[in-house]
Structure 1
Amino acid sequence: LICGVQQATDPALQVLDALQRQHPQLPLHWRLHDCRLGSNPKVNNLAGMSDLGLAPVVVIQDADIAVGPDYLRRVVAALEGPRVGLVTCLYRPRPDRHFWSSVLAAQVQELFLPSVLAANRLGPTIYCAGATMALRRDMLEICGGWRAIADSLADDYALGARVRAHGKEIALSNYVVDTQVMEASFRAFHRHALRWARTTRSVQPLGHAFSFLSYPLPLTMILAPWLGWGGWILIPVVLTLRLVYHRAIAKLLKNPLPLAAVLLGDLLALWIWALAWVSRRVYWRGSDYAYDSHGRMRGGDGVQR
């Protein structure tokens, strides 16, 4: 288990120290470093901790992911396929007590995840999420290592694209990880949702352009005045179908979310979709970044917080 820290004041150091004291037998290694390969702070951290050495199979996770005891076994087993170059996972959002956390969780669970599954049914998997990326070390090296994605806004997508470019496939594991959603205010929610939308736009502009079609409730409300009496009748019909869909998703993922957060998340999704086209700037963990038409980042200090 390899962890990287880029600041001596990072509270993660206290957690690592506690883990080492409580579980001295655990093969836990961590490194405090100042590696700067590019503008992406997450990739800089991965590169810095990799100096400790990588195992034949590398499993990468975002910092907000929680898994069970059979996670590694199931994810690594999916790498055994002869055509598989990388394994990734869907993620179940687990919001904290703040309302805006539930709104963002609702957008992930009820808008984003179904679109991933639908796309996966229609063609080869291009989805690749930082929630889990498992690949062999030699595959990572063939793809150019961390340096190849050091300036990528969508580093997970970029790594997956390189794997596919070398003739390998991305496999979607049947293991669903949990991701912690912590948005204490509307501003925090808005920044996070907008970064996700602009990241999607940077790598799949056509897909993002048509994604508004997956927001039927706000679209119906906007179009109703121009559709006559039929438009007003359509609103309760769409709302009823949306509620049925909401209950089905919550039951499937065993993750019920507040209905108010779900409906507000739907309405705000169209607003976020539109704002994604306004500029090429994102706010990520305390820093502002710009990105170009190829999704290359610039700005910030390159430090993961």
Structure 2
Amino acid sequence: METLSLTVEIVAALLTASGIAYGLLALFGARAFEHDARAAAKLGAEGFAPGVSVLKPVKGVDSRMYAGFVSHCVQQYAGEFELLFGVSSLDDPAVAEIARLRIEYPQLNIRLVECPERLGSNGKVSNLAQMLPHARFEHIVVNDSDILVSPRYLSRVLTPFAQEKTGLVTVPYVGQAEGTLWSRLEALGISTDFMAGVLTARKLEGGIHFGLGSTLATTKTALAAIGGFEALVEQLADDYEMGVRLSRAGYRVELVHEVVATTVPAYTLRGFCEHQLRWSRSTRDSRRAGYIGLGVTYVLPWSLAAVLASGGSLWSFSLFSLALLVRVAVALTVGVGILRDGQVLRDLILLPLRDCFGLFFWAWSYASDVVVWRGEHFRLKRGRLERV
């Protein structure tokens, strides 16, 4: 029994030390991103404002969706832009909201595209493939229906295309919690875990080589080089996969400092678990080698395990204090400093609980390949969705 306790103590201490090292890397990654963002802002791209088609696949209505629509209509953009909304059926409740938008902004080119075909398991990408032929412009911006953006969004997202071989531009995002504990935990995870991981990957890999669904800005030419949206209709992590394929095709992928917001639903515990597992299994399937190491990033549970295994020894409390310091530093630097997410300050006390859930879902993600998406069950196999 003593041998087992000592083994647990040593393993927990080593994993805690690894988690602290990861936290320091995340801080360096955040610093590098801020430095590069300031340098890019100074360079700018004066006079570059190509026409752009914004594609928004929609399904149903949520409480903040219309505000997101409006934020796209009040863009301070020097070039032309159009908004295309894609629905699988004209009976979708979102159709009425789009009609309302067209009435309130008659000066804008706002169009509704019916996408009746189901080209693959990923309904969103299936809609995008049917919307693309209706887009007037070479430059394309794709984001989800509830994304809320700033008035300078299009200007900042399109600027990198002034440079040759830019194939994809993506942006960081925050989650706007809908009030329940589970919603708040997911929003906290986005700002303090997920985005910290993105910035760390950017630092370690010498740039970003994947996309984030918050924004996928590209061109028709670049899309054609990877087979168009049709090549992604069976992919769960279509945003990630688009960036990977464009990077492999020789295009540059850029992460610009333009933070957008998405809605985090008022999850029940079951809904929270289903979404977190889908997210975890998608990441596991997309980045298999990197995902193995993700477990050490949840430093607070490991440091608590070291305290318990050592019987509350002085060194374990010192290690826990250091782990907590680094974890809070990452949360504040990324969540507040870069993302400007005030929810992080409000929910900072939930960090230990968030880390415990994160570690649990990381471990549970290896138990099965089944994910639940919009009430349907799929089996995930090498990024592809197969109906169960």
TM-score when scaled to structure 1?
Answer: 0.92
Shift, 1:10, TM fit: 2.0
What is the correspondence of 1:118-137 to structure 2 with a 5 Å cutoff? 118-122=200-204, 123-137=206-220
Instruction: In structure 2, give the amino acid aligned to 1:36.
Output: R
Partner of residue 142, structure 2: 60
1:94 to 172, 176, 180: 176
1:80 to 162, 174, 183: 162
Name the stretch that deviates more: 168-177 or 243-252.
Answer: 243-252
Give the SS at the match of 1:116: helix
Give the SS at the match of 2:323: helix
Point out where structure 2 has 5 or more consecutive residues left out of the alignment: 1-82
Give the SS at the match of 1:276: helix
Taking a change above 3 Å as real, the CA distance of residues 170 and 22 of structure 1, as seen in their structure-2 partners, is same
Shift, 1:124, TM fit: 2.9
Distance of 1:49 and 1:297 partners within structure 2: 22
1:124-171 deviation line (CA, Å, top 9, x unaligned): 312311111111111111110111111111111211122112111101
What is the correspondence of 1:2-17 to structure 2 with a 5 Å cutoff? 2-17=84-99
Shift, 1:54, TM fit: 4.5
Partner of residue 23, structure 2: none
Give the SS at the match of 2:222: helix
Partner of residue 247, structure 2: 164
1:31-56 deviation line (CA, Å, top 9, x unaligned): 22212221111111111222423421
Give the SS at the match of 2:134: coil
1:198 to 253, 273, 281: 281
Give the SS at the match of 2:342: coil
Distance of 2:256 and 2:203 partners within structure 1: 14
Contact residue 149 and residue 155 of structure 1 kept, 8 A = yes
Taking a change above 3 Å as real, the CA distance of residues 149 and 180 of structure 1, as seen in their structure-2 partners, is same
Give the SS at the match of 1:28: strand
For the pair shown, the structure with the greater C-alpha radius of gyration is 2
Shift, 1:243, TM fit: 3.5
Question: How many matched pairs?
Answer: 299
Taking a change above 3 Å as real, the CA distance of residues 54 and 188 of structure 1, as seen in their structure-2 partners, is farther
Contact residue 278 and residue 373 of structure 2 kept, 8 A = yes
Partner of residue 251, structure 1: 336
Distance of 2:214 and 2:135 partners within structure 1: 22
C-alpha RMSD over aligned residues:
1.8
Distance of 2:335 and 2:257 partners within structure 1: 18
Instruction: In structure 2, give the amino acid aligned to 1:219.
Output: W
Give the SS at the match of 1:66: coil
Distance of 1:76 and 1:87 partners within structure 2: 8
Kindly indicate whether residue 268 of structure 2 is the aligned counterpart of residue 185 of structure 1.
yes
What is the correspondence of 1:1-305 to structure 2 with a 5 Å cutoff? 1-122=83-204, 123-228=206-311, 229=313, 230-252=315-337, 253-257=339-343, 258-292=347-381, 294-299=382-387
Taking a change above 3 Å as real, the CA distance of residues 250 and 53 of structure 1, as seen in their structure-2 partners, is closer
Distance of 1:255 and 1:116 partners within structure 2: 16
Partner of residue 18, structure 2: none
Distance of 1:145 and 1:184 partners within structure 2: 34
Point out where structure 1 has 5 or more consecutive residues left out of the alignment: 301-305
Distance of 2:336 and 2:169 partners within structure 1: 26
Identity in percent: 32
Distance of 2:234 and 2:320 partners within structure 1: 44
Distance of 1:201 and 1:165 partners within structure 2: 20
Instruction: In structure 2, give the amino acid aligned to 1:298.
Output: E
Give the SS at the match of 1:86: strand
Which structure has greater helix proportion? 2
Contact residue 170 and residue 215 of structure 2 kept, 8 A = yes
Shift, 1:254, TM fit: 2.4
Distance of 2:335 and 2:352 partners within structure 1: 14
Contact residue 194 and residue 272 of structure 1 kept, 8 A = yes
Distance of 1:88 and 1:30 partners within structure 2: 24
Contact residue 195 and residue 282 of structure 1 kept, 8 A = yes
Instruction: In structure 2, give the amino acid aligned to 1:98.
Output: T
